[in-house]
Structure 1
């Protein structure tokens, strides 16, 4: 969807809390592990003092999906985690359908090659992607989820939730304790039940603004 409203940054707070706050025109959601204080989780991002690796093991996930893999397949949907069968032109069409600007396919390919985790749903009848989400990060402490989209023709049947549940679980299983994403205000209600919250412990995020720099 096009960013017509302030995006909010959200943070994941396992198992049920999610933080969000506004940065310019965006709302940012962040997911945060309860085993670490938020200040510890944000250390490696330069927001607070130096990060200390916890001495206790990161917990394994026990996620029960809202829609099982078997149920998805019975409805004609297949979960994919690589770009090998992903048609970038078809993915671009989904981006445009939800309000994103059309992107250069070569740049999409490059972005996906630098993606930490990715999950998309293929519709068997057309062999086209109908839902998608990906995450980038350092592979250890932090991850940001991007490009969460569902083809308008397939919205409202749980595909977006199915993708997000699995993507978040995959990141948590890697031991990543700080998970964030940007969201428009009108879809905050989608992310909150998934464990995202805004402004964790009053900590706000910032993004670079060319307009702000020109004012100086």
Structure 2
């Protein structure tokens, strides 16, 4: 059974204009995104270094991309991506904020905006892929452990040890 369509409030903690006044630009496309710098942001928060060709391929085939550029350095400092079926379902992946920019609200801003934009598309089932250590960050943003008790699983090719 489908969930009812949530009410869209259009209330972000910060607008594009406010971000710009703080020295940041909100980007929704991969134009001007330096993939080396993006990879550096991912590595700074503990992700492994990725092949730039693969990153580019992922980004070219994803509709929901948000990243925050520091105007002065012209480098990405926050990033989020969502994959979606363009009708009902989306999963938010890879939400990252460069460590020296954490704690100033960029992660919250990116999350609120990407969720709002998914809701505006009519997508009502929004899942979030995250590490357990950051659950407390996402709870105030409206994310809960699945209230219906549905558990997610991931496929793994790892062999069982005998």
- Give the deviation of 1:77 after TM superposition: 0.4
Aligned residue for 2:125?
178
> Residues 180-201 of structure 1, C-alpha deviation per residue, up to 9 Å, x if partnerless?
1122222111111111111321
> What SS class does the counterpart of residue 119 from structure 2 fall into?
helix
Alignment of 1:1-216 (within 5 A): 39-40=1-2, 58=5, 61-211=8-158, 214=160
User: Are the counterparts in 2 of residues 60 and 173 from structure 1 also a CA contact under 8 Å?
Assistant: no
Could you say which structure has the larger radius of gyration?
A: 1
> What SS class does the counterpart of residue 26 from structure 2 fall into?
strand
State the distance in 2 between where 1:59 and 1:147 align.
Answer: 24
User: Are the counterparts in 2 of residues 119 and 132 from structure 1 also a CA contact under 8 Å?
Assistant: yes
Which blocks of at least 5 consecutive residues in structure 1 are unaligned?
Answer: 1-38, 42-53
Number of residue equivalences: 162
Moved over 3 A (4+): 213-216
Query: TM-score if structure 2 supplies the norm length?
Result: 0.93
State the distance in 2 between where 1:135 and 1:114 align.
Answer: 11
State the distance in 1 between where 2:86 and 2:126 align.
Answer: 11
Q: Which has the higher strand share?
A: 1
> Residues 142-198 of structure 1, C-alpha deviation per residue, up to 9 Å, x if partnerless?
111111000111010000011110000000111111111122222111111111111
Which blocks of at least 5 consecutive residues in structure 2 are unaligned?
Answer: none
- Give the deviation of 1:70 after TM superposition: 2.0
User: Are the counterparts in 1 of residues 44 and 99 from structure 2 also a CA contact under 8 Å?
Assistant: yes
